[in-house]
Structure 1
Amino acid sequence: MSKLVKDEVRRKDKNGNQDDESHGARGKEKKIDEPDHHDDSKKVENTYQLGPYKRFPDGAATEILRDVLTSHLQEEKYEVQRSQELIITLTGIIKSRVKELEIPRYKIIVLMHLGQLADHGVHNTSSFLWDAANDTFASFSFKNSSLFCVATVYAVYYE
């Protein structure tokens, strides 16, 4: 059970003297034993770093895309129901492999399009607020007799 403390609310009269509040309760009740809700997240000092120490290796990311897509989709046949879980699995694998490169201060975004290979065309466009000096991307397209897949890894630098 928490202890209750009354904080007396005082106000000054015209002469500047403090006077107890005369209406109803003499003050507000405040719980003392309630735990404070502090943010336990790690606090990091600002480094004032305006650019990356190490640039994101988009060539290595392209090789990761090539390796994951060819190894997982080489014998795969296109099925509508399976495509959603396949995309979730493959984007997770790609993201974890790219994060293993341990390039600090980059946010990794993996975007993938998977579809049936038929007599139709696909046009793919993306738009970002982009810092051309520090942000980069890697992309790889794959197709077999049944499906096509376009995977893109965006590496966005954050300060």
Structure 2
Amino acid sequence: MEVSDTYLIRPNYQHKFKPTIVKECIREILRERLSGVRYNPEEVANLSESLADSIKDKVKDAGFQRYKLIVQVVIGEQRGQGVKMSCRCLWDADTDKYVEDVFMNDSLFCVVAVFGVYYY
């Protein structure tokens, strides 16, 4: 659905960004696409881009109208190392939300963050 020329400063409840729904979308795609996958440095760029597109499409289908979606996917080789990620944003705490999830197997780890920013 296209954003109309109306000026809504708050989303309707049924269209509000719901982190639990988004987290389930992320988990479903990561389990489906990464179970049994071995880390391959030559394929990681394409895989992370493909995962980001799939997650964005699935979250879009959930019907969060007037939200801009930002999907970040990081894939690394599983070697027992620690990884720290951070992000800074300016946003409205009443309408904007984010969700993160982590997938790990014996070969790789994948960290996904999805940001839903309400478009006024």
Tell me whether the two structures share a fold, i.e. TM-score over 0.5: yes
> Residue in 2 aligned with 1:12?
none
Q: Which residue of 2 aligns with 1:48?
A: 7
Partner SS state of residue 42, structure 2 = helix
Q: Answer yes or no: is 1:103 the counterpart of 2:47.
A: no
In structure 2, what is the equivalent of residue 63 of structure 1?
A: 24
The CA RMSD over aligned residues, in Å, is 1.3
Q: Deviations over 1:48-76 (max 9, x none)?
A: 32111131111110001001011111110
Alpha carbons 2:19, 2:99 under 8 Å: kept: yes
Please give the alpha-carbon distance, in whole angstroms, between the structure 2 residues aligned to 1:123 and 1:103.
Answer: 29
Alignment of 1:115-130 (within 5 A): 115-130=76-91
Q: Which runs of 5+ in 1 are unaligned?
A: 1-41
Structure 1 counterpart of 2:34, from 56, 62, 73: 73
* 1:157 matched to 2:118: yes
Distance in 2 (alpha carbons) for counterparts of 1:48 and 1:92: 29
Contact 2:49–2:73 (CA under 8 A) maintained in structure 1: no
TM-score by length of 1: 0.70
Q: Which amino acid aligns with 2:72?
A: L
Alignment correspondent of 2:99: 138
| 1:86 counterpart (38, 41, 47) | 47
Same amino acid, percent of matched pairs: 34
More helix by share: 2
Aligned with 1:148 (options 104, 109, 120): 109
- TM-score between both structures, scaled by the size of structure 2: 0.91
Give deviations 1:77-106, integer Å, cap 9, x for gaps: 001011111001111110000000121110
Matches of 1:113 and 1:49, distance apart in 2: 34
Q: Which runs of 4+ in 1 moved over 2 A?
A: none
User: 2:7, 2:107 → 1: CA distance?
Assistant: 50
